[in-house]
Amino acid sequence: MSAVSPSAPSGKDPLRGTLWPAVAALLGVLLLAEFTPLDLWVQDACFDFATGQWRVDENASLPKALFYTGPKAVLIAFGLACIALLLGPAGWRRRLGLAHRRRELAAVIVCLGLGPYLTGVAKANTNMFCPYELTRYGGDVPYVKLFERFPDDARPERRGVCFPAGHASGGFALLALSGLAATRRGRLLGIAIGLAVGPWMGIYQMLKGAHYLSHTLITLVLMWLLFLACRAALARAWRSGPDSP
């Protein structure tokens, strides 16, 4: 990030105070999804009941390139660039104003790698199905919320692997960029980047019936909590100092 002072930062960490608001937001989204029909309202708007088609065709090449394969490739390339910057000569970091930010740069790398991985692990164990699999939208599975059980006479033989939103997790992992800045403006810029790329990837998934709104919102909060956890763990394990000349 650009707004980094030439000397090592000191004082209270302003991002640490977001932990409990993030936990409250996570609980709030879970309750909203569990006790309101919000997810179905949004998905109904993404589905054309007259034609039985989603607003975006998952096989359409241009939207897939713009919102799926393209962003994934950019995130992989960005992650590799961050690794090179972390391990490369100190002069590279000084030119970008990151001489005192190797630990924070490591947090970005960990979030970019660990976020999608942990999301994939969660998807394999939560047993939630995607909207396109529901009988409501032409599929074969009844709509069941996260904390509900399937009816005995309609229990699927396969497991659902749709919660939380895996694709959007890579975009929301960019929220970790806020840790690279030493000023409020720089932190807000990092947060804005994550809040731009995450929905760019997540809304596409909703429009083609791959995720609910709550899936995307919960992934947003989980990636922020992961960032705070990585930041705290690295602060304990890694005493960051200025790069050598």
**In this predicted structure, what is the pLDDT of residue 5?**
40
Q: Is residue 8 part of a domain?
A: no
Q: Is residue 245 part of a domain?
A: no
Q: Is residue 174 part of a domain?
A: yes
Confidence of residue 228 (pLDDT cuts 50, 70, 90): very high
Neighbours of 117 (CB within 10 A): 11
Look up the domain containing 194 and give its range.
16-47+60-148+157-237
**In this predicted structure, what is the pLDDT of residue 100?**
85
pLDDT, tens only, 18-61: 999 999 999 999 999 999 999 999 999 999 999 999 999 999 99
**In this predicted structure, what is the pLDDT of residue 13?**
75
Residue 86 near residue 158, CB atoms below 8 Å:
no
Q: Is residue 244 part of a domain?
A: no
pLDDT, tens only, 69-118: 999 999 999 999 999 999 999 999 999 989 888 999 999 999 999 999 99
- The structure's pTM equals 0.91
Question: pLDDT exceeding 70 applies to what percent of the chain?
Answer: 92
d(CA 90, CA 179): 19
As to burial, measured by CB atoms within 10 angstroms (0-12 exposed, 13-18 middle, 19+ buried), residue 184 is: exposed
Q: Is residue 2 part of a domain?
A: no
pLDDT, tens only, 186-223: 999 999 999 999 999 999 999 999 999 999 999 999 99
d(CA 126, CA 147): 10
The domain tally of the chain equals 1
Question: pLDDT exceeding 90 applies to what percent of the chain?
Answer: 83
Q: Is residue 9 part of a domain?
A: no
Position with higher pLDDT, 79 vs 235: 79
Q: Is residue 53 part of a domain?
A: no
Q: Is residue 84 part of a domain?
A: yes
Confidence of residue 242 (pLDDT cuts 50, 70, 90): low
